[in-house]
Amino acid sequence: MVQQQVLYRALVSTKWLAESVRAQKVGPGLRVLDVSWYPPLQRNALQEYRERHIPGASFFDIEECRDQDSPYEMMLPSEEAFASYVGRLGISNNTHVVVYDGDDLGSFYGPRAWWMFRVFGHRTVSVLNGGFRNWLQEGHPVTSEPTDPEPAVFKAKLDESLLKTYEQMLENLESKRFQMVDSRSRGRYLGTEAEPDSKDLEPGHIPGSLNMPFTEFLTAEGFKKSPEEIQAMFKEKNVDLSKPLIATCRKGVTACHIALAAYLCGKPDVAVYDGSWSEWFRRAPPKLRVSQWKGGKS
């Protein structure tokens, strides 16, 4: 029973959301957010949203809803900034939030937005399983009509148990209390493959972290794999879901796929290292960076 509740809160199906759209349930009690983000020279997420999106969906600009003063790539905003931003999208503490993105994989930034709501104390948040890719493929309705919800009051409270800082990561190297899992590709983890779109960030990983590429949690069709399959994957990597776990990646985005995957297996307490490799590479001494990188252009 517990696992069924976790599954319901973590994922909703395209069929369920389509029925909610048809029944005109998208409103103060149910808000849908397009949280797509792409490298600037590849695709324009806001323009694509304006051209077509799920009826009733608002655009959640992850570039705007972050710490604008941080030197790192996608750090969390303050409680006040997050509350103000999502309140303008018509989201209150009583709203069920469904997030999706338009990535060809089926999901990329969706789990990041899911985790952001959770880390700021909001539990009724779900990811659209299969994403916009499958919404379109299944022929569900889309619109170009802008969504202008009534502003709401959202009160954010940071749940520090779901967040790790650089200093806490350093401490964990000594205490080894938390297992660490890196969600980047095998090559970037090892340091044999350059970090994309970065001139100064070399690849590699934090000592002691294991590698589980986030794409392996998705089916070829873009859906999340079953809890049974995910549990087998963690077991194969010797990750014990009964013990504390930290997820990391390059900038705290695909690490959230690890948190979501563990959540589907009944583990809701995975912490994400928000700065991830982007911060670690720039702050940690070279002896604390594991890499096979031999130089060249990143």
Active site residues: 249
Closest CA to 126 of 13, 29, 26: 13
Distance CA 201, CA 13 (A): 37
Q: Where are the beta strands (DSSP E) in the chain?
A: 11-12, 30-34, 57-59, 96-100, 125-128, 163-164, 179-182, 210-211, 245-248, 271-273
Angle in degrees, CA 138, 23, 58, rounded to 5: 70
Does residue 211 contact residue 239 with C-beta atoms inside 8 Å?
A: no
Distance CA 142, CA 182 (A): 35
